[in-house]
Amino acid sequence: MSKFVLSLHSSVSDHATLNNLSRFAHAALDDGHHIPCIFLYQDGVYHASQYVELASDELDIAAIWQALADRGITLMLCVTAAEKRGIDTTNTGIFKVAGLAEFAMLSATSDKWIQFK
């Protein structure tokens, strides 16, 4: 089977993109593929903010991320993009702080890199 790395570039308000990423990841894993990581980049880093509060009738993004982490996917947060956007990189919960170099190494050893924008 194939090995995919995924990256998310859109903000927390873009529910469609997060839903597409989640559906793809779960389907790929169910088909036996491997996803070592999802990398949050650009405005995607806002998903790791502990200060984002959405209304109760909006998409439960924390539950989506937890479900992906529970499937064994490492959730990586770009440290540079996060710091530029004022995200506290010392309090990232289930997200691992990483750099582009670490993501590039994972991408180089994968069959495909799939971006969700």
Strand partners for 38: 6, 75
DSSP 7: E
Strand partners for 101: none
Residue partners of 62: CB distance under 8 A and separation at least 6? none
- Tokens 């880093």 map to which residue? 45
- Tokens 């194939």 map to which residue? 2
- Give me the catalytic one of 48, 73, 78, 98: 78
- Concatenate the DSSP letters of all residues of 21-59 into one string: HHHHHHHHHHTT-EEEEEEE-GGGGGGG-TT----TTS-
78 tagged catalytic: yes
List active site positions: 78
